[in-house]
Structure 1
Amino acid sequence: MPKIEATPYTGPLPPASPPAGTGLFQLPTGSYLTRAALAFRGGRWVEHRDFASTAVLVRHPDGDVLIDAGFGADAARHIRTLPAFRRSRHRLGDTARQQLDAAGYDRRRLLGVVLTHSHWDHVSGLDSLDVPVWLAPGERQYAGRATDDRVFSLVTRHHTIREYTFEGPAYLGFASSYDVHGDGSVVIVPAAGHTPGSVVVFVTLPAGQRFAFIGDLTWQLDGITRRAERPLLLRTLADSDAAAVRADLSRVIALADRVHLVPAHDARAYHGIPRLTAETAAAS
């Protein structure tokens, strides 16, 4: 079985000067069960994997963002709108809004939700978050045309949509970038392939730790450690451009020794990212 080719990145890391107070928190909202054989090439049919649905709060003195929204208050109804073959067994937890409110977080700090892409399990939580939705070029049109996943259209009817463009320089192998705060703390790069407007979000913390939230370039860490793409059937069903996904997956695999890679649906990848608490929310 051919592995994805990737030469480890040895060049300089891009400059970043995240201010004191920049922080990162995970807001897990639930999971759903999938067979490993459907998650990555070489996975076993008898092995099951929990697919996480987690929002990530990036705190910054100039305003915070969420990366994806996780499951929402109406997630059960959202699931019923999907084709039967996509209705995996789910476990629903507290929504991102419920977790923010429980910690006493001031939601007025939120500049918006940066979507890695518009599939239902990344946007469902927008049903209870009244904040702008940040989309890369092409993703709004893609979501509007979708016939088997209309959740984005359901949950964003009353949201402000902010479409940004990639006018910044090349970034860690990606051709262009968008620097949210202008200080290198949150940098978004285009990774069209899973969907036409998919992105990767890089986050750098004051102590120097670097993270890459890679959305659905791979669903599980095995895509990184085994250099394995999705099985052929799932590449055909799930990806707009499987070759582009493969190329971008190669780019992030090359960074694995330098950057903490976080596939959206692998709970193991969130280890080390703290949960939001009343104490940490107050510190913001």
Structure 2
Amino acid sequence: MPPLAKPAAWTQPLPEAHPPADMAVYHLPTGTYETRAALAFRGGSFRDKRHFAASAVLVRHPEGDLLIDAGFGADVAAHVAMLPRFVRAPYRVGRTVGEQLDAAGYDRGRLRGVLLTHSHWDHASGLDSLRGTPVWMNTNERRYAAEDPDGKVYRHVSPGHEIHEYGFDGRSYLGFPSSHDVYGDGSVVIVLAGGHTTGSVIVFVTVPSGERYAFIGDLTWQIDGIRRRVERPWLLSRLADSDPGRLRQDLLRMIALDGLMRIVPAHDLGCYDGIPLLTPEAAAWSR
């Protein structure tokens, strides 16, 4: 199939953001699993093996830190065993988010919560190493996670976690009709992008240097979806996406923003390049 029609590039001013001087982001990789490009995006090759990232991102902010997603957990083998056989893939496990935080000497008391881009297993598994940390979800995703078969692992790891339910106001943000400004300073803004799951979100982050990130979850599994303007293969979309039409609309919104910010699909390992890892020195600075 041909690429999606190219949308008009975003030409309006970017939203104001006033990140505090000591705000920062860190990449916490927890492992990878193997998938063929042909199964990730239309036009991909079966000969092209992709190592899908299972990662979290730590956003440090003086008003309290957030994790975006949780990656693989300590009991990831059991979590994979809960999946239908046809979706299981070879995987490699690194240190959990909890282990990385502890190894860096990070004060977990700084964590306001784990903000899930959505509740699928490879984003929620690591909640098992983050006991006591609240989970941030919107109403749509909370309902999806409670009822959908793909929420099985989430339902297994979430007991004992307080759920912080956030909502969206009527303020549009970069073409998305509603948003939630986490800190009130424009540095972390969540928008609803409910095509993959009904409560999937994109998290826009602006750091003090002025660099902007868009952590887009599974809007597309690889950056090829943005750069080539292609969706998931038809069958995979029907299996994985709650509303393919809405997902296409949001994908086009992000394609229009390409070049204005760093777009990070959750599973594209190369898109995390340049985001620093959490070190003891960085953790000490945050205390």
Give the residue type in structure 2 aligned to 1:57. L
The 5 Å alignment of 1:68-79 reads 68-79=69-80
- Tell me, yes or no, if the aligned pair for 1:168 and 1:179 is still in contact at 8 Å: no
Question: Following TM superposition, by how much is the alpha carbon of 1:147 offset from its aligned partner in structure 2, in angstroms?
Answer: 2.3
Q: Return the alpha-carbon distance in structure 2 between the equivalents of residues 148 and 24 of structure 1.
A: 29
**Deviation >4 Å, runs of 4+:** none
- Gaps (5+ residues) in structure 1? none
Question: Following TM superposition, by how much is the alpha carbon of 1:168 offset from its aligned partner in structure 2, in angstroms?
Answer: 5.0
Provide the secondary structure at the position in 2 that maps to 1:265.
coil
Matched, 1:18 2:19: yes
Residue aligning to 1:153: 155
Give the residue type in structure 1 aligned to 2:115. V
Give the residue type in structure 2 aligned to 1:76. A
Give the residue type in structure 2 aligned to 1:217. L
- Gaps (5+ residues) in structure 2? none
Question: Following TM superposition, by how much is the alpha carbon of 1:8 offset from its aligned partner in structure 2, in angstroms?
Answer: 1.1
The 5 Å alignment of 1:39-54 reads 39-54=40-55
Question: Following TM superposition, by how much is the alpha carbon of 1:224 offset from its aligned partner in structure 2, in angstroms?
Answer: 1.0
Residue aligning to 2:228: 226
For residues 229-267 of structure 1, give each alpha carbon's deviation from its aligned partner in whole angstroms, at most 9, with x where no partner exists: 100000100000001111101101111110100000000
Give the residue type in structure 1 aligned to 2:116. L
Matched residues, percent identical? 61
Residue aligning to 2:174: 172
Q: Return the alpha-carbon distance in structure 1 between the equivalents of residues 60 and 278 of structure 2.
A: 11
Q: Return the alpha-carbon distance in structure 1 between the equivalents of residues 14 and 223 of structure 2.
A: 22
Question: Following TM superposition, by how much is the alpha carbon of 1:128 offset from its aligned partner in structure 2, in angstroms?
Answer: 1.2
Question: Following TM superposition, by how much is the alpha carbon of 1:4 offset from its aligned partner in structure 2, in angstroms?
Answer: 2.1
Provide the secondary structure at the position in 1 that maps to 2:205.
strand
Question: Following TM superposition, by how much is the alpha carbon of 1:60 offset from its aligned partner in structure 2, in angstroms?
Answer: 0.2
Residue aligning to 1:114: 115
Residue aligning to 1:3: 3
Question: Following TM superposition, by how much is the alpha carbon of 1:125 offset from its aligned partner in structure 2, in angstroms?
Answer: 0.3
Provide the secondary structure at the position in 1 that maps to 2:51.
strand
- Tell me, yes or no, if the aligned pair for 1:166 and 1:189 is still in contact at 8 Å: yes
Q: Return the alpha-carbon distance in structure 2 between the equivalents of residues 137 and 122 of structure 1.
A: 18
Provide the secondary structure at the position in 2 that maps to 1:150.
helix
Question: Following TM superposition, by how much is the alpha carbon of 1:149 offset from its aligned partner in structure 2, in angstroms?
Answer: 4.3
- Tell me, yes or no, if the aligned pair for 1:81 and 1:149 is still in contact at 8 Å: no
Q: Return the alpha-carbon distance in structure 2 between the equivalents of residues 192 and 137 of structure 1.
A: 11
What is the TM-score normalised by the length of structure 1?
0.98
Q: Return the alpha-carbon distance in structure 1 between the equivalents of residues 207 and 127 of structure 2.
A: 26
Provide the secondary structure at the position in 1 that maps to 2:26.
strand
Residue aligning to 2:198: 196
Provide the secondary structure at the position in 1 that maps to 2:79.
helix
Q: Return the alpha-carbon distance in structure 2 between the equivalents of residues 199 and 31 of structure 1.
A: 22
Q: Return the alpha-carbon distance in structure 2 between the equivalents of residues 118 and 274 of structure 1.
A: 25
RMSD: 0.9
The aligned length equals: 284
What is the TM-score normalised by the length of structure 2?
0.97
